[in-house]
Each structure stands twice: as structure tokens, then as C-alpha cells.
Amino acid sequence: RSYEQDGVKKYATDIVISGFNGTLQMLDRRDDAGGAPRPAATAPAAAQDPITPVDNSGFDDDIPF
């Protein structure tokens, strides 16, 4: 999705995790001191409505590849 803030168009991506027990582990680079990586914090998955199938029958365009 996109939105405009202070005259600048910005983009955001929403990620829905339904598999893998609904957990996301954020990976970041190790600090310059060479210390051990910090354990990732995990939050319980929020309850979500079931995903409704999308009707793609309106997309009958010819794709050139």
C-alpha cells in the first residue's frame, strides 16, 4: 500500500504470517564489538479472521511473457 506524508509518497508492506506457528524472528546485524546476538523477542499471534479467496476471473488480460 502507499500513502503520502509531507508531500512524499511512501510505501508500506503488510506481512501476514499464518504458517510456522505464526512467529516472526527479526534478524539484524551483529554489533561491531563482536558480542553474541541478542535473543529475538516473539509475540503471540493475534487472532485474525479467516482468509477469503479472491475472485481473479476479472483478470483476463494477455500477459506478454
Better-scored residue on pLDDT, 35 or 11: 11
pLDDT tens across 49-63, in order?
Answer: 677 777 766 666 676
pLDDT tier at 39, thresholds 50, 70, 90: low
- pLDDT of 8 reads 92
Stated pTM of the model: 0.28
Q: Whose grid coordinates read 535473543? A: 39
CA distances from 5 to 2, 8, 28, 29 (A): 10, 5, 27, 29
Mean pLDDT computed over 35-43: 59
